[in-house]
Amino acid sequence: MKNFKIYILLFCLFSIGNSYADEDDPNVLIEQMIQEMLVVQAKYNIEIDAIILQIKEADQVLFLSNSLEEKVDYLLIKDQLNKKLQYLKSENATDISKIRYIKGLQIIKLLYEKVLSLDHHFASVRTFSEINKISNPNQYPEFTKMKDLVKDKRDKKLGFNLTSVLGTNTFASVTQTFINLFSASSLSSEEKEQELAKIECILDFTLRMHNDLNTIYFETAYLQASNQNIKTDIETLFREFTKPISYYASLPECRNQDDWDTVNNNLEAYIEKMKKAEGTKQFKMQVELEFPIDRLILFINQYNNFISEGEKFYQKFSIILNSYENEKQCESKLPIEYKKLKDDVNVAIDKFNIA
């Protein structure tokens, strides 16, 4: 059994040496944490098992010995061994907590960068202005030009003008333009068909995609707000995580000043203080170190849910943007912003996959 534990120890050491290749992957950090914990546990298990064996030997001597002096000596030896056993168990727990805490910090740092990356994406993504531009025919020069032509050729007795409010409404504007074109303009039938041919793809695209594009806008706004909440939560988590070790700078401050060495130094000082403490005080310090680690686990679940939800939203956006039936037929007439929006969605899907 002892040889087997030594083998495990060596195997874990070798694995750790080869696992630091990609610390941008949370899974790698978690694997490192598990491996480091296994190394520590194997190391202490060897020492603990040796002491337990010595305690059993002392118990056997106490049971078999008829000498009072020998019994007293072995009772003292057993007491010392038990104290050493408790010390090793305490050191083991402390070292495990330290590994979990350090990896927790690294995971927080890594996830924060991913949240900031998504935040940057949402800040730069083409949302309302672009969607309004490609979903509203009034934003297209061809449609505006035809409206002006119809207005000039309009029979004032038959045609009508919209109010300032309805004039900005996509469907009311299109309806008015069609009525004036076919019922109230002096254009010939051939001219009407020619003008209609110039804008048919624009009207087809905007009327078919208007509601879907607005759905993308509003759901993107929802995801942006959710990402902001995640960002706030991880900053709060960092504050709670570093409070026990008396580090009080915020996560943005720590990141901007690259102050991670100070955090690690504060942790080392806290660990040394905890090792010197005894009884209830030491137990309380141990709990204070473990509590934020448990909070991190809850946050990771929350983060995973958000990422999963965001990826599904953007996959839906991709389906929506690729659902326009006449895309090939009207390809040359479609706005460049439509393709850019598709590219943004694909970039976002990649970002959510990475996150």
Q: What percent of the chain has pLDDT over 90?
A: 24
Q: Is residue 12 part of a domain?
A: yes
Residue 176 pLDDT greater than 70, yes or no = no
12 and 70 belong to one structural domain: yes
Q: Give CA–CA dist 200/203, Å, rounded.
A: 5
Top-confidence residue, 166 or 111: 111
DSSP 106: H
Amino acid type, 99: I
Q: Is residue 120 part of a domain?
A: no
Host domain of residue 90: 1-111
Q: Give CA–CA dist 99/289, Å, rounded.
A: 11
Q: What is the pLDDT of residue 62?
A: 87
154 and 232 belong to one structural domain: yes
Q: What is the pLDDT of residue 112?
A: 93
274 and 333 belong to one structural domain: yes
How do residues 188-239 score in pLDDT, each as one tens digit?
A: 777 777 777 888 888 888 888 888 888 888 888 888 889 999 999 999 999 9
Q: What is the pLDDT of residue 186?
A: 62
Number of structural domains the chain divides into: 2
Q: Give CA–CA dist 22/207, Å, rounded.
A: 48
98 and 140 belong to one structural domain: no
Q: Is residue 118 part of a domain?
A: no
Q: Give CA–CA dist 54/77, Å, rounded.
A: 9
Q: What is the pLDDT of residue 167?
A: 54
Which range of 200-214, 249-263, 305-319 scores highest in mean pLDDT? It is 249-263
User: Does residue 322 sit in helix, strand or coil?
Assistant: coil
Whole-model pTM: value is: 0.72
Top-confidence residue, 85 or 194: 85
133 and 104 belong to one structural domain: no
User: Does residue 162 sit in helix, strand or coil?
Assistant: coil
What pairs with residue 185 in β-bridges?
A: 154
Instruction: Please give the sequence-ordered ranges of beta strands (E in DSSP) within 29-178, or none if there are none.
Output: none
- Domain ends where: 53, 85, 111? 111
Distance set, CA 315 to CA 3, 97, 131, 148, 320 (Å): 52, 40, 18, 40, 9
Q: Is residue 119 part of a domain?
A: no
User: Does residue 185 sit in helix, strand or coil?
Assistant: strand
131 and 94 belong to one structural domain: no
Task: Report, as an integer, the average pLDDT of 43-49.
Answer: 92
- Band of residue 243 on the pLDDT scale cut at 50, 70, 90: very high
